[in-house]
Structure 1
């Protein structure tokens, strides 16, 4: 692809028309920078796969010209791709202190531990890379040290919002730096590239301080001795609130789950949290003293602490009249998993409170009032909505237009956006897509591996072994999994059908697979419309002696 000289380009390779996997490129005269390098969690679409990363095939064409990576904050959908993609890049990664320590912890004892060139940034201190000048500004979110970036190049000022909200009473870190934003407005903001996740919320996203007050009321008034709270491990403000409540009420608190304890340690090293005197380990929980038990698993993850406790696979147990607070939202796609675990715990006699019942969670993303607030301060000439599914991005573009932003445009992953013209536009398309991290290998979403897993998941599998000795049918082994309730009857009938076809000399070493599959189809038609995966093995021993 030939790129025009003296043109500023923006290319999202992830995060546009989806929530997660944020990965953005800015380029000018063969100088390129990357903003964020995130992952997605696979969900049910890709059986056996946990993590999805952006397909970075396009980057191979410009790899030598990528000069820096800038991370806006430490959430997995912005930083989680670094360990999987680091080997492609020979450039510094700029990030704040909290994000740097989290990434260092993540890659410790891995192959990329000694290969990353991490550079801690200071707020408001310009970083000059080739023709680019990047400045980090503080903005509130649901994790410490989230940043909004100013990118200046070729007489253009681009503001890349990252994830954000306006919390006037943040519990961790500083307030949003409105002075920084107003100074950007004075320069003239050409394009705002902005978070769309919460655009359907017509109000403010809410303050962590309000959540703290309500959690305090709930926990204080509860008669339960064990109060379980599950939340995102990265929500340091929420952890701070729970510690505050435990200290204020003189009750015990403990954390269960590896990611929770890692987040606590990192936040402590940055000065955001301190372990209170009434902190205990999970084996010290007593029925005589009220205890807040903070645990991982708010999204129904099967290996997380909450799920293990629910399935009686942990030393900590649920008993009747315990209280469980889901201090989190349901991420789209996790509804079934969360619903299943809520039902499981409810049957144990545990009281459950979610965000639908009381104020126990607020979003980390801007509602419409906050979006309008940012438009009013920055006064951008153009807007590109990102960090959202199609419905979020279309709604954000429409909302911005109603609020006076003259040129909002809708883009998709892979769009080559020309930012140099007064009216920005999509000039071309580059390759984009997804790569699945399947254990230690990387595969395409269209891989036969995924297709076969889906087929087996939905239709079951049949194993057939034909053993021929000295040109006579010695035995037939048939085994089916996940196909029919009366599988023994099916296997017996299929065996008889195969024997009949062999006696009729329809099955030999040249056509055994075709005829065997025809036998399977004939028998299956009588009982099901399923089309299982069929694995056939043909063993022919012509010189066998008993």
Structure 2
């Protein structure tokens, strides 16, 4: 069924970010038009060989792009804007963002030649604008990035507050604290639904303040006499400032190591942040400083193999070397799914003699998402009738829904991507499920994660691949032994018997065919393919992707 919201019907449709953390794409529909909130990415894992960036498939809204009133960004994190440079050409809609998010986005668009094509309207934090039938008020909230905004989206059918990512930090250091008065006012005016962050709903109490981390870093840096390397999320501008101030308090100079840090630093200064800090050093210049006078601020807190810290740990960074007597501080949390990469990186550093400090050994990080008491306070401020938990896995959504009912919500709805939720009129109800999917960046192209290309790649990773060449005459008689290459499975030089057994299985499969069947190329190819797969299954327990090259002479 195809839905074009008409009259007073108000819809919410997540195509990414519901039942998962990351890859956010939300749609609100009213009076024949749609408003998109965020368009982000997530990152590949061990189940996605050679895939780094994953994003929601926008096909459903792409087919209705003439009804897409605009795209509004809640903030500048990758999981909220990182897909725009890849997907905007399929949508071609206006974009609304605060100055800092717009600066980050413009840098990304410049990389793909879209910097003068995508229409970006810069909205000041706390500003208002209209897109189609949607009146949007941005409400400043604190998060681990400057200028995070919750959105009050108003239509004649009611107001929905889309929280984005947020917390209540009384002293965020960079940017103002949350605008509680605006939240109270919106709550008094009436909130139909809250579509809210569920990430830390299991975390008791409050998330903690960035100012507390700064004091801890000052004390921590003073313990060390060797080189200090600190890794954190590049977009956490308050943390960058805290590290710089803590370094200065210990008579150290900070060098930025990694392109993303320089991009964020430039965007921050352009939009009025970090203005009180002196320029950072380059990694090259820092190499002339004594060990006890330098601090390297590095990309790679999540174990990314091509980031600066991984290269340093591998000993192949051109300018930065760490060793015995040095320390690497991970001023970040582990994003679920990144554990293997992070632990591998930390072990590599330890083997170099580097001391590794994480949030388990010292107070070096606070979350950018709300603890349970902060979520409760948000409900007291907004008093929504309907709660829609998003930005969390199923267990987070379920717990968020329980909490929302305790806080007075009349109804909760737990969604997965593709669930089309009618918010008004009447009780909230899922009325359809829209096809969804995931795209990945595979080199310069976008490919569906469900495509045959990636299915075959996954199979090759786990089962290898085999290519067999068979030469036969017109009657189907073999003119020589088949030639076999079994990549990732057989070493012909050391497994001669196994290699010969596969060849024999191919020969046997072809010779078992009736004479008439041997004249059919498709039948001969299938017999050879089955011979390879059955033999390797019996000898190696593998079912490789198998290609048969048939030459008939």
SS of the counterpart of 1:345?
helix
2:535 corresponding residue in structure 1? 523
Quote the offset at 1:31 in angstroms: 2.4
Once superposed, what is the RMSD of the aligned Cα atoms? Answer: 2.3
Instruction: Tell me the TM-score normalized by structure 2.
Output: 0.92
Q: Quick one: distance in 2 between partners of 1:388 and 1:107? A: 28
2:489 corresponding residue in structure 1? 483
Per mean C-alpha deviation after superposition, the further-off stretch among 464-473 and 46-55 is 464-473
Contact 1:123 1:135 in 2 (8 A): no
SS of the counterpart of 1:222?
coil
Contact 2:129 2:136 in 1 (8 A): yes
1:367 corresponding residue in structure 2? 371
1:60-111 CA distance string (max 9 Å, x none) = 4532121121111001111112112212334321100001111111111424
SS of the counterpart of 1:400?
helix
2:432 corresponding residue in structure 1? 428
Q: Does 1:250 align with 2:251?
A: yes
Unaligned 5+ segments in structure 1 are: none
SS of the counterpart of 1:221?
coil
Per mean C-alpha deviation after superposition, the further-off stretch among 279-288 and 109-118 is 279-288
Instruction: Tell me the TM-score normalized by structure 1.
Output: 0.93
Assess, with a 3 A threshold, how the Cα gap between structure 1 residues 522 and 53 changes in structure 2: closer, same or farther: closer
2:270 corresponding residue in structure 1? 269
SS of the counterpart of 1:308?
helix
Assess, with a 3 A threshold, how the Cα gap between structure 1 residues 502 and 403 changes in structure 2: closer, same or farther: closer
Per mean C-alpha deviation after superposition, the further-off stretch among 191-200 and 497-506 is 497-506
1:203-222 CA distance string (max 9 Å, x none) = 21111111111111111112
1:301 corresponding residue in structure 2? 304
Residue 353 (structure 2) aligned to one of 340, 346, 349: 349
Contact 1:199 1:395 in 2 (8 A): yes
Assess, with a 3 A threshold, how the Cα gap between structure 1 residues 502 and 405 changes in structure 2: closer, same or farther: closer
Quote the offset at 1:119 in angstroms: 0.5
Quote the offset at 1:499 in angstroms: 5.8
Contact 1:67 1:129 in 2 (8 A): yes
Assess, with a 3 A threshold, how the Cα gap between structure 1 residues 465 and 428 changes in structure 2: closer, same or farther: closer
Assess, with a 3 A threshold, how the Cα gap between structure 1 residues 115 and 421 changes in structure 2: closer, same or farther: same
Per mean C-alpha deviation after superposition, the further-off stretch among 165-174 and 518-527 is 518-527
1:428-470 CA distance string (max 9 Å, x none) = 3323222233223333222111211111111112222234589
Per mean C-alpha deviation after superposition, the further-off stretch among 366-375 and 107-116 is 107-116
Contact 1:252 1:289 in 2 (8 A): no
Quote the offset at 1:362 in angstroms: 1.0
Question: Which residues in structure 2 correspond to 1:431-442 (within 5 Å)?
Answer: 431-442=435-446
Assess, with a 3 A threshold, how the Cα gap between structure 1 residues 227 and 475 changes in structure 2: closer, same or farther: same
Assess, with a 3 A threshold, how the Cα gap between structure 1 residues 528 and 144 changes in structure 2: closer, same or farther: same
Assess, with a 3 A threshold, how the Cα gap between structure 1 residues 505 and 17 changes in structure 2: closer, same or farther: closer
Contact 2:231 2:299 in 1 (8 A): yes
Question: Which residues in structure 2 correspond to 1:92-107 (within 5 Å)?
Answer: 92-107=94-109
Contact 2:231 2:329 in 1 (8 A): yes
Assess, with a 3 A threshold, how the Cα gap between structure 1 residues 415 and 288 changes in structure 2: closer, same or farther: closer
**Paired residues, what number?**
540
Contact 1:9 1:26 in 2 (8 A): yes
SS of the counterpart of 2:424?
coil
2:15 corresponding residue in structure 1? 13
Q: Does 1:239 align with 2:247?
A: no
Question: Which residues in structure 2 correspond to 1:303-322 (within 5 Å)?
Answer: 303-315=306-318, 316-322=320-326
Quote the offset at 1:234 in angstroms: 0.8
Unaligned 5+ segments in structure 2 are: none
Residue 78 (structure 2) aligned to one of 76, 79, 85: 76
